[in-house]
Chains A and B, each alone.
Chain A
Amino acid sequence: MRFVDEFRDADKAHALAAKIAALCEPGREYKFMEVCGGHTHTIYKHGLEDYLPEQVVLVHGPGCPVCVIPMGRVDDAVALASEPGVIMTSFGDMMRVPGSHGSFFDAKAAGTDIRMVYSPLDSLKIARQNPDRQVVFMAIGFETTAPSTAVTMLRAAAEGLANFSVFCNHVTIIPAIKAILDSPDLRLDGFIGPGHVSTVIGCRPYEFIARDYGKPVVVAGFEPLDILQSIYMLMVQLSRGRSEVENQYSRVVPWDGNLVALKAIGETMELRPYFEWRGLGFISHSALAVRQPFAAMDAERRFSVPGVRVADPKACQCGEVLKGVLKPWECKVFGTACTPETPIGTCMVSPEGACAAYYNYGRMNRHRVAEAASAHSAGPA
């Protein structure tokens, strides 16, 4: 019995699913990766995979910028927060990410001045209100969020604020996708491109996937029908032997992206030669650092951080989940030692993480629970 959340336009969903099924060649598997937490939510919440033929498999890739921060870097952030006189400011979803010696939440409970903010502009305000303290903003996120950090830094510079700095951990999506395409672990047939990241970077950056790797890419919206339509568009391309970038989310995503945002990033930040991604190892030119003209606002230069590389806990299989090699329920500690309340790895900590998404939706879905049980006994699929 199917136990799937109904949503409006269920008829249209069935119709799209039928069109997708009609394009499936017998005996062939189709594996599509999506790299966006919002897409993962929609897919799990509405059980979209149940609408699709069994041959079509969806894999969640490293779309959670919190999830890919290695433990050593979290330790660096906690060390910064513990510097005398520092007020650390951070988005909420960073608060419970575990480092070697606990998270921001743990440090805060022990008396460290760490404050949750909604926006980097809130952090700027705290800096203005506390001229005798050093305010550090924990900057995380993909290109969706980097422009906001950039504009905030430009504001701080214009105001001549001397007590504000940024611990920059912005990562870029394209090198991560390339690393996955180069990885022998996974054979993918196409990509469902992220929605909001693309409002900033546009669609051009994905062209190398189609051109150099021969895989189609469709940038998709967040509604169930958007995702189903995008999968249909991928299938059409494959059936015609095409590999191109298409924009299913053109009502929001401009092909060229947001040039003002890209310019702000370019003024304040530059690509690091390499950066470590949890689960993916070191990837070149995959993260941003503060540019030299803004060095006074670079927390890494203003303070010293331990910079120690820390291996993930042995039990943690976040790496494989992030690459899409394992499904959340295939991780040995999923739901037992690792839960949202007691997370071992970041895939469970962040609401955007594949494991957290599955844990929150999968439990309510009897069909998936039965599937998970048989997967555990049968071994990884």
Chain B
Amino acid sequence: MCLGIPGEVIELDLERPDLAKVSVSGVRRLINIALLADDPPKPGEWVLIHVGFALSKIDEHEAAAAMQFLESIGQAYEDEMAALRESLIE
């Protein structure tokens, strides 16, 4: 679905620079950060995630606003989170 979900970068892996561990509403997952290769995110920064890829960096305020928007969508957001939980990108 075309939803962009905010996530906080928790950890990077020096062996795998194209991946990052993020926390999305408490769910920890690996996502691909290859699209941000020009300015890779660091732990503590927030990114907009779409189908397992970080699309852009956002600030914490925008992340909170995006979360509120997503929660207001209801079912579509829940479905997206359920799909994210099922996903185990490596």
Contact = CB atoms under 8 A, between A and B. Distances in A.
Interface of A: 37-38, 41-42, 45, 65, 91-93, 116-122, 125, 141-142, 144-145, 147-148, 151, 195-196, 199-200, 221-223, 251-254, 258-261, 264, 351-352, 360
Contacts of B89: 119, 121-122, 125
Contacts of A37: 2
A45 B38 contact: no
A196 B48 contact: yes
Contacts of A261: 35, 55
Interface string B57-90: 0110010011011001111100110011011111
B69 A38 contact: yes
Contacts of A120: 51-52
Contacts of B72: 41, 45
Contacts, number: 120
Contacts of A222: 65-66, 69
B52 A122 contact: yes
Interface residues of B, number: 38
Contacts of A258: 35, 55-56
Contact of A118 (B37, B51, B55): B51
Given A148-B50, A196-B50, A199-B48, A92 B2 contact: no
A118 B38 contact: no
Contacts of A122: 52, 87-89
Closest CB pairs A-B (n = 10): A119-B52, A118-B87, A118-B83, A351-B76, A148-B53, A121-B89, A119-B51, A199-B56, A196-B4, A222-B69
Nearest to A350: B1
Contacts of A38: 2-3, 69
A38 B77 CA distance: 11
Contacts of B12: none
A120 B34 CA distance: 14
18 contacts: A65-B2, A118-B86, A119-B32, A119-B53, A120-B52, A121-B32, A141-B2, A141-B51, A148-B32, A151-B32, A195-B4, A251-B58, A252-B58, A254-B56, A260-B36, A264-B34, A351-B75, A360-B74
B2 A145 contact: yes
B22 to A, nearest CB: 13
Contacts of B87: 117-119, 121-122
A123 to B, nearest CB: 10
Interface in B3-35: 3-4, 32, 34-35
